[in-house]
DNA sequence: TTGCATTTAAGAATAATTCTTACTTAATTA
DNA sequence: TAATTAAGTAAGAATTATTCTTAAATGCAA
């Protein structure tokens, strides 16, 4: 989740859509809001089910297409994953991830130290442009650990 | 890739299969070898196509199932990804990844500094067990950058 | 040598994603 | 406010990736 206020999020959404010549439609807005308010890093299907409550006739395809559009203009990102459906990440600020190997849950955390990590010099040639970095931990979450 | 010698790799493969009561079949061996020798982090289909040259009658299902089995006993791991088919990683040593956002190429690199990163204290409760960590960079590789 | 794990075979099922075409709706802007 | 045009709806199909099913044959390991 993005930690700014709902109103500020909406302003940002509108501004960035405008800047990219994307119309501010109720569906598009609802899809963005659903993604931002989702607890866990939601799949297209998670968002589809949420938005369907408000727009019963919306199709999965519209939701998925819209999520990809929002990713293109960087209002969302795609979280790294190991299996299953694509997971969207509404947190576009610098942050890091802890994955549960059992249930697939992804938990965000922040770290000024981790934010500062730089790509190694020896890759400067092979990768002339580097946009982002993330530290990813893998473990077992409390819930899954208790269940055995 | 694993940087030990081919003979050592094979010894390790045999030992770990034995320890896990898995038979040393020619197919299983070939699948492991193909994964270890693959340049890029291969998909099941990549491995299927390589092993098919030696075993023309092998099925994709056998290859995929075997790769999952080898992952279970930690002879392989699964690389984080953002889209497309599951990518296997034959390098089971501590290492880190650089992803190309255009072509999906994943390049390994090592870093003693990055190996030492620890999960933040504030997640100790939510995640009582942590097994591994990795730093993941995203950028554009030289080839894709030249192509525009 | 024999038991059982493994592979083969072939098809089916499922999940996830993307595309197609045509029609309708509605956000923007001139 | 009317025109333009992006966006959504609809329904189905196609594609890609993965996993399962059943049954028979094979061959590794004790």
Question: Tens digit of pLDDT for each residue in B74-89?
Answer: 999 999 999 999 999 9
Task: Report the percentage of chain A scoring pLDDT > 70.
Answer: 96
Whether the pLDDT of residue A107 is over 50: the answer is yes
Is the CB of A80 less than 8 angstroms away from the CB of B80? yes
Measured CA to CA in angstroms, residue B45 lies from B48, B88, B138 at distances of 5, 11, 24
- Alpha-carbon distance of A137 to B127, in angstroms, equals 10
DSSP-assigned letter for residue B58:
-
**Mean pLDDT value of segment A108-137:** 97
- In three-state secondary structure terms, B33 is helix
A112 sits in which H/E element: helix A112-115
**Mean pLDDT value of segment B5-32:** 89
Chain B closest-CA separation from residue A9 CA (Å): 25
Pinpoint the alpha helices (H) of chain B.
Answer: 6-19, 26-37, 44-54, 60-72, 112-115, 142-147
| Strand D atom within 7 Å of A58 CB | yes
Confirm or reject contact between A3 and chain B (CB < 8 A): no
**Mean pLDDT value of segment A4-8:** 71
Is the CB of A127 less than 8 angstroms away from the CB of B107? yes
Whole-number average pLDDT of chain B: 92
Residues in chain B: 148
Whether the pLDDT of residue B70 is over 50: the answer is yes
Is the CB of A119 less than 8 angstroms away from the CB of B140? no
Q: Which pTM does this prediction carry?
A: 0.92
Whether the pLDDT of residue A4 is over 80: the answer is no
| Closest nucleotide to the alpha carbon of A22, via C1' | D6
| Closest nucleotide to the alpha carbon of B81, via C1' | D17
Contact of B74 with B119, CB cutoff 8 Å: no
Is the CB of A127 less than 8 angstroms away from the CB of B133? no
**Mean pLDDT value of segment A41-61:** 93
How many CB pairs (< 8 A) connect A and B?
A: 118
Whole-number average pLDDT of chain A: 93
């Amino acid at each position: 989740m993005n930690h700014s206020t709902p109103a500020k999020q909406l302003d940002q959404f509108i501004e960035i859509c405008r800047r990219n010549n994307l119309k501010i439609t109720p569906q598009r807005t609802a899809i963005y809001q659903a993604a931002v308010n989702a607890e866990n890093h939601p799949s297209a299907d998670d968002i589809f089910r949420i938005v369907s409550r408000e727009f019963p006739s919306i199709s999965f395809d519209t939701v998925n297409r819209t999520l990809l559009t929002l990713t293109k203009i960087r209002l969302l990102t795609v979280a790294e994953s190991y299996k299953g459906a694509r997971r969207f990440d509404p947190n576009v600020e610098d942050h890091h991830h802890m994955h549960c190997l059992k249930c697939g849950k992804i938990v965000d955390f922040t770290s000024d130290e981790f934010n500062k990590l730089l790509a190694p010099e020896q890759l400067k040639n092979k990768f002339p442009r580097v946009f982002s970095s993330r530290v990813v931990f893998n473990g077992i979450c409390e819930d899954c650990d208790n269940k055995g």
